[in-house]
């Protein structure tokens, strides 16, 4: 039984069905402009994240239990509903300095991820290593430049430096998206898996940085950034490991992987709506 059809077959009694109801209520509240007063909409997202995490843990007890792979698909389907029904309040109101500091804070993880990319070629079949190396050759320079710009923005939060960050994060994102598509064409399955896993960390962090910079950019700037994104995220999402991305985000922010999945889904939704 398809786990997604299982969700819809048990809309009243299953954990996933209850999750759908909770998310729908939250989506209606936020879409109608209803706030939680002093608590704020951030509290709403926190509550939904907590409830969603608990309910997803019950999916294994739903009728017609599925395999671990199918169960994972059901979980991702549930989080996809969140991305469709909720806005992106947890990034609202971020200052430029806060975003720049967060990008700088990502530096150790990004450098580690790039180092992983640099060492991944040795794990591939001899015929595949050159493909991977050519696809990822610009990662070191691109990451160093973006971090340097973020540090410059912290020191001097000017419009010109912000414009440099806006341009560079898109350039880096496009390099990563292109590399994912290129290594996906590797025929040796073992090499392909190693190659995609090697790029996973960089892709996750660059996507987080894109969302951060997008949150402090004006409408015209975001439209310009999106127009420069020739390879859209929809073209590479199926090459990403959602659970792996959640672990990276959760480790960075010191939160649960369930909440990190919410953040990732919301960020992907915002970027997709913006044209990335």
For 21-53, how does the pLDDT look when each residue is reduced to its tens digit (9 = 90+)?
Answer: 444 444 444 444 444 444 444 444 444 555 554
Q: What's the rounded mean pLDDT across residues 190-219? A: 92
Within 10 A of 134 (CB to CB), how many other CB atoms are there? 12
Rounded to 5°, angle at Cα 150 from 145 and 155: 125
| pTM attached to this predicted model | 0.69
DSSP the chain: --HHHHHHHSTTTSHHHHHHHHHHHHHHHHHTT---GGG-HHHHHHHHHHHHHHHHHTGGGSSS---HHHHHHHHHHHHHHHHHH---GGGTT--HHHHHHHHHHTHHHHHHHHHHHHHHGGGS-TTTHHHHHHHHTTHHHHHHHHHHHHHHHHH---HHHHHHHHHHHHHHHHHHHHHHHHHHT--SHHHHHHHHHHHHHHHHHHHHHHHHHHHTS-HHHHHHHHHT--S-GGGTGGGS-HHHHHHHHHHHHT--HHHHHHHHHHHHHHHHHHT-
Q: Which two tokens stand for residue 104?
A: 């700088």
Sign of CA dihedral 170, 176, 182, 185: negative
Q: What's the rounded mean pLDDT across residues 71-93? A: 44
Nearest Cα residue to 11 out of 142, 23, 159: 23
Q: How far is CA 219 from CA 17, 264, 275, in A?
A: 36, 21, 12
- Residue 93 predicted with pLDDT over 50: no
Nearest Cα residue to 71 out of 24, 14, 2: 2
Cα 82 from chain centroid (whole Å): 14
Please give the residue that has the higher pLDDT: either 74 or 168: 168
Nearest Cα residue to 75 out of 243, 263, 251: 243
Report the alpha-carbon distance of residue 232 to residue 181 in Å, rounded: 11
Q: Which has the minimum average pLDDT: 160-164, 182-186, 193-197, 210-214?
A: 210-214
Report the alpha-carbon distance of residue 203 to residue 180 in Å, rounded: 9
Residue 6 banded pLDDT, cuts 50, 70, 90: very low
Q: What's the rounded mean pLDDT across residues 192-209? A: 94
The rounded mean pLDDT for the chain is: 75
């Amino acid at each position: 039984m398809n786990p997604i059809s299982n969700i819809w077959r048990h809309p009243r009694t299953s954990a996933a069905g209850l999750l759908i109801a909770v998310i729908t209520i939250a989506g209606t509240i936020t879409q109608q402009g209803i706030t939680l007063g002093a608590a704020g909409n951030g509290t709403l997202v926190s509550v939904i994240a907590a409830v969603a995490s608990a309910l997803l843990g019950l999916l294994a007890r739903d009728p017609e239990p599925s395999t671990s792979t199918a169960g994972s698909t059901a979980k991702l389907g549930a989080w996809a509903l969140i991305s469709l029904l909720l806005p992106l309040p947890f990034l609202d109101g971020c200052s430029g300095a806060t975003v720049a500091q967060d990008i700088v804070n990502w530096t150790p993880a990004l450098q580690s991820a790039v180092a992983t990319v640099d060492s991944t070629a040795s794990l591939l079949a001899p015929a595949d290593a050159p493909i991977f190396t050519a696809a990822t050759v610009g990662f070191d320079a691109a990451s160093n430049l973006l971090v340097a710009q973020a540090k410059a923005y912290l020191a001097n939060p000017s419009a010109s430096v912000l414009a440099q960050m806006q341009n560079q994060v898109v350039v880096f994102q496009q390099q990563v998206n292109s590399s994912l598509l290129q290594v996906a064409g590797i025929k040796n399955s073992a090499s392909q898996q190693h190659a995609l896993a090697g790029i996973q960390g960089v892709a996750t962090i660059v996507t987080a940085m894109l969302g951060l910079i997008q949150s402090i950019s004006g409408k015209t700037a975001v439209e310009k950034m999106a127009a420069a994104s020739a390879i859209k995220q929809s073209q590479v999402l199926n090459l990403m490991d959602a659970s792996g991305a959640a672990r990276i985000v959760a480790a960075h922010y010191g939160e649960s992987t369930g909440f990190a999945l919410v953040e990732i889904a919301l960020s992907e939704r915002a970027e997709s709506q913006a044209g990335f």
